[in-house]
Structure 1
């Protein structure tokens, strides 16, 4: 009996019929009313059959009057007790499932979503806005110079700043290692940039202490538009490219995808100039005669008359 009840409860939870306390209360009330009505119906049917065969010790009216009250009272009490026990079991299962989901979806150090959970949300959501990739500058040096505890302290501090700045409906995750991702809901880039710069300013002004030593860090960010005609994979690739450019330009800055061409233009001009200079030098070296050629040229030069 208990095994069947537990199996039924799990089936109800798995079907999504019970998700919170309100659902449990509804379940208890529904169960009490249903079982009471069922028992009452069985009592009335049995009493009618007994009366038909004149097996009742009292009149039919008296049996219905007295028996109905007792049946209702007993059925309601027993059913309520069983329903309360079932609700306790359901509550325990919900807590266990919530804890399992939390461990599966949340990063234990930062308390933010893990990468897989974040990617699942990106594929399912219809939200449009901006995708931000934020990276801690020189994180490897922090670990090497101050130890892994220092790196963990930086990650926890940055996660705290992100949670404080980007509240719901924005989604935050620890994307991997020292990299974080934010799915900003809303089409106003100025608001998005304001939040990013607030996080970068806050973490940059912190004094991270490990033992007797203290240090601070900077961060770089790349931003891509997250729109309907762009898949999550493409948005991540574009944001990663913008982050790479922010790192290449000296770190401690934010770059939006629309700025990449403008920021790359000076570098491309410099590359063009270098290639042109390299080409000229190569051509000059190519036409410059070798000593042997110069000697051969002198030998072939016509002799001048003596007068």
Structure 2
């Protein structure tokens, strides 16, 4: 039984069971194999039964009869069982796919979560930029208008990000008011321009929440993926650029290459180590 279970599992690829056609194909395949197995067992068993006197029917006739019964009864029964089993496997497949999607999705924004984004960072390639966004003074919105208003702002900004950064770019909410985007293809300057476009889009948006008109802005830090630079280093550089954007007054985009130059524009005590901002 253990070997039979293992053999059946080898025939099942859960990712291919999303379509109903896969269930019919699985049932047909399992039915055919069950009938062939039953036929082979009959060929082995019938001569033995005839030899020990358990049947008086000639072996040739018995084999022909067994073929008919194998397809008629065995095929029908095994086909029905295989179809039911296929439906169960399909339900499990869909449930697993949904669980996988939910485990990688931020429920409020509908974007990828930090876990899924971390996986994407490891596979970003070298022709890409990482942008980390932070909503400016988001805590003031929550304190002044309530967390429900803050949630609506998160949703609105999320829609703006996905409008500017469609596939093949990867967009995620990293937690709280922080977002991340892996910007693919094009040139470094063009990718940076897209981040600036998003900043302008968010700046110009007016959101009406519970009768109150709300506006927000974003600060962003951008760093480049390049050969020999790991995902952690890219993230750290983008985070430092974001911190500098906050220190320079918010509502701006800072690229990693600007860090040395921009440092002179901040107060001497500025520390570029990632730190928690008051938003």
Q: Which whole-Å deviations, capped at 9, do the CAs of 1:13-63 have from their partners, x for residues lacking one? A: 9x9832132665554343222212111111222223234456544433332
Mapped partners of 1:134, 1:16: distance in 2: 42
Mapped partners of 2:149, 2:5: distance in 1: 49
Q: Which whole-Å deviations, capped at 9, do the CAs of 1:189-224 have from their partners, x for residues lacking one? A: 233224323332332232211111111111111100
What does residue range 32-51 of structure 1 map to in structure 2 within 5 Å? 32-51=31-50
Mapped partners of 1:42, 1:176: distance in 2: 61
1:162 aligned residue: 161
Q: Which whole-Å deviations, capped at 9, do the CAs of 1:105-138 have from their partners, x for residues lacking one? A: 2111011122123223323x25231111011111
Question: Which of 14, 19, 44 is equivalent to 1:18?
Answer: 14
Mapped partners of 1:176, 1:148: distance in 2: 15
1:259 aligned residue: 258
Bigger shift: 57-66 or 250-259? 57-66
CA pair 36-194 structure 1, distance change in 2 beyond 3 A: farther
CA pair 12-20 structure 1, distance change in 2 beyond 3 A: same
What does residue range 1-307 of structure 1 map to in structure 2 within 5 Å? 8=5, 12=9, 17-21=13-17, 24-53=23-52, 55-123=54-122, 125=123, 127-128=125-126, 129-186=128-185, 188-267=187-266
> Over the residues paired in the alignment, what is the CA RMSD in angstroms?
2.8
CA pair 12-126 structure 1, distance change in 2 beyond 3 A: farther
Mapped partners of 1:24, 1:227: distance in 2: 45
Q: Which whole-Å deviations, capped at 9, do the CAs of 1:235-289 have from their partners, x for residues lacking one? A: 1111011111212222222111112223334558xx6xxxxxxxxxxxxxxxxxx
How many residues end up aligned between the 2 structures? 262
| Cα contact 2:50–2:56 (8 A) shared by 1 | no
Stretches of structure 2 that go unaligned for 5 or more consecutive residues are 269-279
Mapped partners of 1:184, 1:115: distance in 2: 16
Per the normalisation by structure 2, the TM-score is 0.82
| Cα contact 1:12–1:18 (8 A) shared by 2 | no
CA pair 182-89 structure 1, distance change in 2 beyond 3 A: same
Mapped partners of 2:94, 2:219: distance in 1: 39
CA pair 212-96 structure 1, distance change in 2 beyond 3 A: same
Mapped partners of 1:126, 1:205: distance in 2: 31
| Cα contact 1:223–1:255 (8 A) shared by 2 | yes
Q: Which has the larger radius of gyration?
A: 1
Bigger shift: 45-54 or 168-177? 45-54
CA pair 80-163 structure 1, distance change in 2 beyond 3 A: farther
Write 1 or 2 for the structure with the bigger share of helix. Answer: 1
CA pair 165-29 structure 1, distance change in 2 beyond 3 A: farther
Mapped partners of 2:210, 2:80: distance in 1: 56
| Cα contact 2:39–2:66 (8 A) shared by 1 | no
Stretches of structure 1 that go unaligned for 5 or more consecutive residues are 272-307
The structure whose RCO (Cα within 8 Å, separation 6+) is larger is 2
